[in-house]
Structure 1
């Protein structure tokens, strides 16, 4: 049985942790660094097993989600729910494209 933490979980938590760090420190670049470190870890971990195309699709969708969370944060939904929604979507897509056995 494979007991490793799914890449999808790390991808989703990277988005949430990056936002939390940016909020807590009031330094957006620091939050971005946390997000970038999480993304780099996910890419490094799954490049060989999932393949370049799947990983690049997830990275692209993560970037789109990052922008979407900023746009959604300006709606009545608010910032934290927006980040959590996008993180859940990113985690689901990552699980389907990277973690799930094909």
Structure 2
């Protein structure tokens, strides 16, 4: 079974965390989703690109979450969340997932 790329896990965590918080009206529950996805993404990043890259992408993930708040005041909540999720996904693909995909593609 193919592994889900860290980019998808991280972007899904940002979008899913916000969606859970918004629809349940329980921000801590959204935080649980955000944290669980961040931990899972960090593990994928560590496996495919090493600890330093995983740490840098984890900082990017947290910064994207924090940055989505002021951005939401300018463009709206959903566009802000999708924007930062796309940015984290792109960073993940460039720094970690692309390498892992090539390695697994060569093994097939």
Q: Normalization by structure 2: what TM-score?
A: 0.86
Q: CA deviation at 1:46?
A: 2.9
Q: Which structure shows the bigger proportion of residues in helix conformation?
A: 2
| Structure-2 separation of matches of 1:79 and 1:44 | 28
- The total of aligned residue pairs comes to 100
Deviation at 1:49, TM superposition (A): 2.6
Any unmatched runs of 5+ in structure 1? none
Structure 1 residue 4: deviation in Å? 2.8
Q: Which runs of 5+ in 2 are unaligned?
A: 101-108
Larger of the two Rg values belongs to structure: 2
Partner Cα distance (1:88, 1:48) in 2: 22
Q: TM-score, normalised by structure 1?
A: 0.90
Question: Could you say what the CA RMSD is over the residues aligned between the two structures, in angstroms?
Answer: 1.5
What is the match of residue 98 of structure 2?
Answer: 100
